[in-house]
Each structure stands twice: as C-alpha cells, then as structure tokens.
Amino acid sequence: MIRRILAAVLVVLGLVAVGLAVGSATVWRSSDTVTASMPAQPTEPVVIVEPGVLGMVAETVTLTATSSTEDAPVVLAFAPSSDVTAWVGAAAHVAVTGMSSWTDLRVEEVAGEESVPNPAGADLWTRELTGTGELVVELNPDPGDVALLAATDGTAAAPRITLTWTVPVTNPYLVPLVAAGAVLLVLGLAILAYDILVRREVRARERAREARRTADATATSQLPADAIAALAAEPAKPVEAPASVTASTLTRRQLRELERRRRQEDPRLADDGPVARSGGAAGAGIVPAVLDPERYRALRYVDVPEEALEPVQEPTPEHGPTHDAGPARGSAIVPGVAEPERHRQSPSEPERTSWRSLWGFGEEEQR
C-alpha cells in the first residue's frame, strides 16, 4: 500500500513539474518583442524623438509612424538634436523622452505656433524617409546625438509614433522542470510496476499454496477404490474391552492398580517362576551370568516346564563371584566362566588379550 501511495505521489509530482515547464514555455513565457506607443494621437504639427530613445531596449528598432488620415504624407527626418531644435523653433511640438512603461512612451507637450514649414526635402536632414498614411521602417539607431523629427506637411497633426524592439527571451525553468518531471515520472512508474509484480507474485504463491493444501486434503481424505471396496466387503468386528476397563477414562491410580495386577498374574514373575529360578530380570534389567546362558536366553518369552529347569550353580567359597566372573576390563562386565583358575594369569606371565581364553574355547594359538 505504501509503495502505491509513493508511486502515485511521484507520478503526480512529475506531471506537475512537466506542466509547469510547458506553461513557463508557453502561457507564462515573456514576449520576445517590446512595443511602446505614444499615449494618443498628437495634435501638434511636429513630434521630436530625442537621442537615445530609439536604441534604449535593443540595437534594432521597428518604427511605425501613423498619420491621422490615410492620405496624409508622413515625413521622418534625422539630424543632430541641435539642428532639429533650431528648425522647430517656437512651434508647438511633442517631445518623446523615453518610456513610462513597457507599453507606453513618455512624452512632453510644448506649446507654441500651430504650424511649421514643410520638412520634406530640407537640406538640414542627414537622412529622410517619406510615405503616405503609415510608414514602417526598421532602423539601427545612431548611438550619437541624433534626433528624429516626424511630421506631415507642417500644418496637419503629426503622426503617432510606435517603437517595437525584438529581445531575446530565455526560459531558465524549462529544462530543469522537464528533467525533474521526467525523473519523477520514471521513478513513480518503476515503483508502481514493481508493486504490481510483487502483488502478482504474492497472488501466484497464494494460489500455489492453496492448490497444494487442496491436493493434500484430497489425497488424505480419499481412499483408493480398491481399499474402499475391501473395507465395504469386510464385516465389522466388534471390539471387546477387558472386564477390568470401564467406559470411563481410567485415572492414574487405576492404571497403577492394573499394572500391579498384571505383574501378579504374570507367571514369569511369580516367586517360583522361571525368572526367579534363573536369576533373570523382566523388562530391561541386566541378567546375571549363568553357566549355560544359551539355555535361559529365551526364558523371558517362553514358559519353560519346571522339571526342565536346573538350579543355578552357587559359587563356592574358594570360587567367589569375583573369581568366577574373571578379570574386569575397564567398565565392561566380563561373563563368568566355568574354570576361572584356568584362565587366571600369573604375575610373571604376560597378559593375554585373546577373547578365546576368556570364553573357554581353547588355548590361544601359539604365535
């Protein structure tokens, strides 16, 4: 669940980053042109653009001069600012001194005479451009002290000036936002794909475990057809419970009492039984050595007639239990032999380690 939430958050953040990048390059992108115009159509016969205004934003400017009527002439004359001021004299004019905003030019109106001579063809101008109605020119302004005079025929209202500069627009957020959004999207999709694969693997394992449990339950709960037929053909055998066992659950005391009775009723454990006469022990006890062990090896499991038993030979004083049992080797118990003196070593003789000498199967072979 956490992986899915994290993947969703990363994907959303990636999409937001990419959207911001696209918006910064389109909707919020700054314009690559700056256009500033005079606030209104002038009423004075002359407009003077002071030096430095044409190149204040960029080195290249597009100047548009629009007259009040379509058939009125338009004259654009360039000359040093002192010559332009002297030619205008006391006539009324509008001076463009700069920009009040990125869309408006700052102007100053100067009152004076209502007309000037026709500026077209005057020898004072260093450069002259003419047109009718509207004149659009692209200029590379002179960085020197050069002013621009705009007029019609000297008596009608001067044309309205509009300046347009082309500026380079940079978008520093486009590439970083796109890169960050792409990384977030890839990371979120990778986490989502990993979560889907993990969930698919978990579901597959659960289905496999369920299938194994179903198969095991089916295998253990169903019997083969031949076994079912055999059980159906076999008649039911009643089970007879012992008389001493009741229907209720036996307590520990009752179990001990049953064990005691069993021991009392067992003929092998009686006082004159085979175990007592042979010196054997029931259960896991250790049976002492006898002269003829093969004879009494199965006495714990076979009832032997009393007349077939022979008493165990008692040890004589001169042949005590230790002598009959023979020497002990470590912690092992060495079975007794019939003639212990025969196999007892003298101090001068070297110790014989042959197993034949201990069991009485003959003298040790001479080496």
CB 31 within 8 A of CB 169: yes
Give me the pLDDT at residue 215, please.
84
In the structure, what pLDDT confidence band is assigned to residue 250 with cuts at 50, 70 and 90? Answer: confident
SS3 195: helix
pLDDT at position 77 is 93
Across the strands, what pairs with 136? Answer: 64
Confidence (pLDDT) at 159: 93
pTM, 2 dp = 0.49
Decide if 17 contacts 105 (C-beta within 8 A): no
Sheet holding 33-37, edge to edge: 33-37, 160-166, 61-66, 134-139
For CA atoms 23, 28, 30, 36, the dihedral sign is: positive
Q: Do residues 105 and 98 lie in contact, with contact meaning Cβ atoms separated by under 8 Å?
A: yes
Both tokens of 366, joined, read 């001479």
CA distances from 297 to 131, 166, 277, 280, 291 (A): 145, 124, 13, 9, 12
Residue 301 above 50 pLDDT?
Answer: no
- pLDDT number for residue 188: 93
Looking at 15-19, 47-51, 232-236, which range is the least confident one?
232-236
| pLDDT for residue 12 is more than 70 | yes
Using DSSP's 3-state secondary structure scheme, residue 136 falls into strand
pLDDT, one tens digit per residue, over 202-221 is: 999 999 998 888 887 776 55
* 126-175: pLDDT as tens digits: 999 999 989 999 999 888 889 999 999 888 999 999 999 998 888 888 89
Confidence label for 252 from pLDDT (cuts 50, 70 and 90)? confident
Cβ contact 306:272 at 8 Å: yes
Asked if pLDDT for residue 239 goes beyond 80, the answer is no
- Band (pLDDT 50/70/90 cuts) for residue 243 is low
| Each residue's pLDDT tens digit, 175-198 | 999 999 999 999 999 999 999 999
Instruction: Report phi then psi at 263, rounded to 5.
Output: -65, -35
Please tell me the distance from the alpha carbon of residue 110 to that of residue 100, in angstroms, as a whole number.
Answer: 18
Q: Is the dihedral of CA 335, 340, 342, 345 positive or negative?
A: positive
- The mean pLDDT value of the chain amounts to 76
How confident is the model over 68-88, as a mean pLDDT?
A: 91
